Amino acid sequence: MYKLIITINQRKFEWQILDTPSAILWMKLLKHQLCSEEKFYIRSHGFPFQSEDHILNILKKALSIIVEEGGAEDPHFDLENWNQTVANQVHHFFDDLYGITGNETKFFNQSPMRVQWALGVVNHCVHQLETNQRDHSILNSSKSIIFEACNNIKRLNFPDSFNEDFELNVEPGSLVLHYSTVGKTWIEAFTDNDDEIPVHKIIPHQRFSCEFDILFSSHFGSEEQNKLFDFIRKKGEDPKNQKLGLGFIPLATIKSDEAASLKKVLESGKVDFNMIDLMKEESVLASKTLENIIESPEMDYLGLE
């Protein structure tokens, strides 16, 4: 039996890793990362690690780099009156300049490295602000802690059989595979009420890495599922198509009482991530001291804090 232990505020929280092909592959990639010199970056979506003003300030700095150093036209976003409409505008600005992973735009490919990384910061900031402002009493909202590695980690396209592992609903506090792709999933486009996004910019989850999320997602009931499926049909797609990757790929589960305790700790905003241990029964297979970096690789590279 394999398990993952993450020590937070000097308290150990334990997840049992699922015995599924996708979870086993993820575990192998995670072990490789834990044995390497690469560090994990930890980001929050929906938990109060950073204030909205702080994130907006980082977003403004990143946009300034893109305009002043990359030569992009100043979009003049109304960032002082942030709402979902503005968030969608910024995300479309990012999409237009970045393109699609594996088919990046001429602007992106010809831009200096600082501009490329600044585009990544814009993407992260938008998602953070969206999640922080979202009403978490609604059915299709979620909060998460993201364990993200640097850009040169191994990322694999997973086989079609892994599409069968997607679930719309996972237990609170579960570990799920991180969306290791730039873009919006169908769930995100639906949650953002993004009726303007073209279908080719909705990118299903198709890539594997060691990255993962601790997810606290509200339940998709039948009513919400019907709304999601209607949204997909209006875009000309079949919601029964497994390649759309609806939901999450679960990797490991935590006991419900531990999940409740963990959520309480995360909601306090006073969080130190100490250690991560991959174990087989009581033997440690790999471990890493966490540097408690509450940022992204892009923010680290640009020195944006």
Backbone angles phi, psi at 218, to 5 degrees: -75, 165
pLDDT digits (tens, 9 = 90+) for 155-199: 888 888 889 999 988 999 999 999 877 778 898 888 878 787 888
Residue 294 has pLDDT above 60, yes or no: no
Residue 136 has pLDDT above 50, yes or no: no
The pLDDT of residue 88: 85
What is the percent of the chain with per-residue pLDDT over 70, rounded to a whole number?
90
What is the Cα–Cα distance from 101 to 225, expressed in whole angstroms? 28
CA nearest to 7, candidates 296, 292, 302, 221: 292
pLDDT digits (tens, 9 = 90+) for 206-253: 888 999 999 997 677 888 889 999 999 999 999 999 999 999 999 999
pTM of the predicted structure, to 2 decimals: 0.78
**What one-character DSSP code corresponds to residue 18?**
P
Highest mean pLDDT among 32-41, 50-59, 276-285: 276-285
What is the Cα–Cα distance from 23 to 105, expressed in whole angstroms? 33
Cβ atoms 194, 145 nearer than 8 A: no
Highest mean pLDDT among 128-132, 259-263, 290-294: 259-263
**What one-character DSSP code corresponds to residue 147?**
E
The better pLDDT of the pair 292, 10 is held by 10
**What one-character DSSP code corresponds to residue 72?**
P
Cβ atoms 3, 14 nearer than 8 A: yes
Q: Name every residue whose Cβ is closer than 8 Å to that of residue 28 and which is 6 or more positions away in sequence.
A: none
